[in-house]
Amino acid sequence: MLIPLDDYPVHQTPEPVAHTLGGAVNHYDRYFFNGYRRDGSLYFGAALGLYPNRRVMDAAFAVVRDGEEISVIASRLAPLDRETTVGPIRVTVEEPLRRLRVSVSPNESGLEADLVFTARSVALEEPRFTRYEGASPVFDYTRLTQWGTWSGTLVADGERVDVTPDVMGCRDRSWGLRPVGQQVPGPSGSVPQFFWLWAPLNFDDLCVHFDVNEDGEGRPWHWNGVVMPVLRTPGDPLVDPGSARHMARVRHDIRWEPGTRRAASATLHLEPHDGEPLAVHLEPMLTFRMRGLGYLHPEWGHGHWKGDEALHTERFRLDDVNPLDPFYVHVQQVCRATMGERSGVGVFEQLVIGPHGPSGFREMLDGAPAQ
């Protein structure tokens, strides 16, 4: 079938745009955003995902303030065209790779928003994620990450927050295959294990990207380390692969909070192909549970069919969460970042399930021992 996008020269296969290559049920196409104050007093996140072969589209918006996480999650029958509105949540690409808008109209959660993300870096294409279980692809996707600032307004329970460009953050766009929606019954080849760290960091004059996926023995199967300059003028090119300084290797030292699987502090090491190694020290200020955006949510996970139109809201006190509850173990921490004389801010995302020998985790969800 044809949709309006077919009028643009964007085709990558002989099929119309609406048809994914191979028709895999786990194909997805996704936006993610976060924003935070430098002192950790505010965090908000947004996400919107399309699962065309499941005919599902969902979106979420969440805020942490005053020790409480509030979220609204919406789901719908996916439109045949690629519009990006789900219930009260809408993502608008105002200028590709430079400016995007996230809006949330009034709804029962008490959250509203009209926020514009403006790029402060070029978009970074991360190495392709590929992971197989036996002969079956579990992950096969591309992702871009981009750093930026926010402006606009945010309303929580009737209180208006003016968001100015001192609120920083990042966004990512990913598409391809990853486990989404109801999974096909069948044998599993191994005990569940996933170790993921992601740290997009904002400094005044540059941005730092760090990520790693490791197996249970600590062997990386995906990693990336990049340092890149910020945009200096509105006319700076938005596609400039040569501006990124790619690392030869990365590693991490994490001091885990006892009884949890989240960091009390961390040092990220980036080793360039030439020059002195870099070390970034992270000190968490605020912890956001990714459940608020549907990640690992037991009922409102990504790509699950909830009907033609559905809406869910929830809120919880951060201090009330069991840190080893499997539905809350996926986190992003807003962190102070120090690299030499530079001071910055960013998020440190962690999802650690199952064994990870270097961290001392032996079981599905055992907590870190007391230091």
Q: For the residues 276-304, what does the mean pLDDT come to? A: 97
What is the spatial distance between Cα 302 and Cα 69, in angstroms, rounded to a whole number?
19
Residues 70 and 104: beta-carbon distance below 8 Å: no
Res. 239: pLDDT tops 80: no
For residue 260, tell me if it sits in a domain. Answer: yes
CB distance 32 to 47 below 8 Å = yes
Residue pair 65/286 in contact by the 8 Å Cβ criterion = no
Question: Which residue's entry shows tokens 């598409």?
Answer: 175
308: left (phi over 0), alpha (psi -120 to 50) or beta: alpha
The reply to whether 275 falls in a domain is: yes
Residues of the domain holding 244: 4-182+190-359
- Residue (of 248, 210, 229, 246) closest to 350 by Cα position: 210
Is residue 205 within 8 Å of 229, Cβ to Cβ?
yes
Residue 178 has φ and ψ, to the nearest 5°, of -155, 160
CATH number, domain at 212? 2.40.370.10
Which amino acid is located at 153 in the chain?
Answer: T
Predicted local distance difference test score (pLDDT) of residue 279: 98
Q: What is the chain's mean pLDDT, rounded?
A: 94
Q: CB under 8 Å to 327, separation ≥6 — which residues?
A: 291, 296, 297, 298
Q: Percent of the chain beyond pLDDT 70?
A: 98
Which tokens in the block code for residue 217?
A: 């023995």
Tell me if 242 is assigned to some domain: yes
Give the pLDDT confidence score for residue 238 in this predicted structure. 76
Count of domains for the chain: 1
pLDDT, tens digit, for every residue of 27-81? Answer: 999 999 999 999 999 999 999 999 999 999 999 999 999 999 999 999 999 998 8
Task: With respect to residue 369, please indicate whether it lies within any of the assigned structural domains.
Answer: no
Tell me the pLDDT tens digit for each residue of 287-299.
999 999 999 999 9
Q: Is residue 370 part of a domain?
A: no
Q: Does 141 reside within a domain? A: yes
201, 182 in Cβ contact below 8 A? no
Look at residue 365 and tell me if it is in a domain. Answer: no
Which amino acid would we find at residue 237? P
Is 367 among the domain residues? no
CA gap 241, 326 in Å, rounded: 38
Contact 114, 91 (CB under 8 A): no
Cβ atoms of 356 and 212 closer than 8 Å: no
pLDDT at 144: 94
CA separation (Å) from 220 to 51, 64, 217, 251, 356?
28, 32, 9, 10, 11
**What's the pLDDT band for 16 if we cut at 50, 70, 90?**
confident
Cα 331 from Cα 334, distance rounded (Å): 10
